[in-house]
Chains A and B, each alone.
Chain A
Amino acid sequence: MGKTIAEKMLSDKSGRDVEAGEIVEARVDYVMVNDVTGPAAFDEFESLRVPLLRDKVILIPDHYVPNKDIASARQAKKMRDFALRHDVDNYFEVGSGGVCHQLMIEEGFAAPGRLIVGADSHTCSYGALGAFSTGIGSTEAATVFARGVLWFKVPESMRFTVDGGLGKHVMGKDIILTMIGDIGVEGALYRSMEVDGDTISSLSLSDRITIANMGIEAGAKTCIIPPDRKVDDYLAGRVRGEYAPVFADADADYMDSRQYDAAEIVPVVAKPHLPDNVAPASEVGVTIDQAYLGSCTNGRIEDFRAAAAIMKGRKVRRGVRMIVVPATKRVMEQAIEEGLVKIFMDAGAFVSGPTCGACLGGYMGILAPGEKCISSTNRNFVGRMGDKGSEVYLANPAVVAASAVAGRIVDPSEVTG
């Protein structure tokens, strides 16, 4: 019997020939922590009194920076102090970085065949480039700082194949939300998702990142897209070190295989309060108070272009505020250069520098009781973005932009005609 990508990668990184169900200790290529999960990792690591494996460690403040209050300032300072004390090169200060997952990709840490862990659940994003990447806790990160290895249960794999051409305003977000709607928020629990097909091959890397990013919302350990020429092209001149792509065998054993016809996928919205509560955007119609464009899920230049194409020459509807947050400094620079920031500002949107911001209810876009937000982010749990009586609706950037203009949740074609 052949092997899945997950089985091959964990075999390679553990030096044993393993299959789903086995537990291995595997060599980790990179470990990333942020300003919220880092501080606990630093304390645990210092208690081990060993040298830091500094070349494997990446420190990215993004959740509550620029510091939102004194407590978050303490956490950010703790990360900065740790970086200086241990001479960590890969520390990205405010002003040079942005949202951790987009930065991990832009900076060339994520690459095919790599095993990457991060103390943030959306670490699974790098599967878009053919990496095996997964979220871990702070204590686990601390032990990787010291030993460079971590234990993994080799996951069973589910295969999702999407073929055919996508309709207008349909993005990677709609593909992954449709899948989560089908299998549920625990539909891929403990498992690896492998997503392929000619639709996926034709997608931009940005849309693929959105898909891999939200694998965790179905409970997946990782969500891997077989790497191709587009990944190689993106990594040229950017990637750090060598990389070796890993592909599944033709006779690999999947515990579940699903086929999708791209033509049947429409712009969708995940309604409160779970990402699997999916409905076509055209059927939602809810009046909104806020529209949020940003995050590791949909804060890239391609997302901004999709939103700006709809907002150009239009206005955010009276009574609605729109908040636009680029994922990284590079995204912001490019958005300024392409005139996208001006389009958003002319439409009446508030544009900020990169941060996780309101995605997790941190700051800069918190919702009041009863308020509703259409958001390009990844979670719509109770109270995720503010008061427990507020509501978050997840959608692609085009739906977010169109809804900001319409004042209620709509399919973009209603605005663009």
Chain B
Amino acid sequence: MKPFDYQRPDTLSGAHGAARDGATFIAGGTNLIDLMKLEVMAPDTLIDISRLGLDRIVPHGDGLHVGATVTNSDLAADMRIRRDYPVLARALLAGASGQLRNKATTGGNLLQRTRCPYFYDTATPCNKRSPGSGCAALGGEMRNHAVLGTSEHCVALHPSDMAVAMRALDVTVEVEGADGTRSETALDDFYRLPGDRPDQETTLDAGDLITGVILPAPFGGRQTYRKVRDRASYAFALVSVAATVRMENDRISNVALAFGGIGTRPWRDPDVEDLLTGETPTTALFEKAGDILMKDAVLREGLEFKDTLVRRLLTATLTEMTQ
């Protein structure tokens, strides 16, 4: 861990004032400190935003505003989230451990870095860690890597459970820029595909600070988050799905599906939802949805199983939710 300057401003403007090249905001730190210990990340200034009062969940129109430093535990335990956004509570509870959820925050979770082992290994090339150095995962050992949204420069998976549920919920990310101006970005537009710059993971500009996440009015309907992993708990997803479904007259009237474990960002495909909307649920329909979801998948060696697994998960989840 490189030496760094630690600052703990009392106000948002103070946080912005401290921001400069080489500085990084820290809240829970569960991923950042992990990476700093390995010098995968080496900021020279840490700006502690954990005491800026961004830890509240308040009504926002018909929805909710979740402060950026609300912990994963507090968010999952909040009665409004449990009642109106169960898919989010379930996704949070499926992630990490009780200890980590007590520190990990909403904003930090959105920004957590990939768990690609080559990204974590400073002895190997990685375009995400060190742009232009190459990708050691390609030609190496792939299991927890992406099959959708990849490029020849990066196959790293987005590891979040929370963000998958948020993608299904159409949340908006609230950002305050270095100059104090606030903007809102739909989560759909927040994450970039790796392309030839896998180090640029989001649309955030330098100095931008996530101040919160806005949940739209409750969707109602049935909601679920299902995660498949190598052990029963405390492991990243092999594949996961966040689903919200409303039925009318035995037809699917509204559906949102987002996936973890397959994409370079939390994955959602509008074509899949278009296919399903208005249809009578059948296994054949769900299998067709799987075809659409995976039509552009690149199944590199070691990742072939994700195709089978995500299709089975999709069919089973929709079957259960439309019964």
Q: Does chain A bind chain B?
A: no
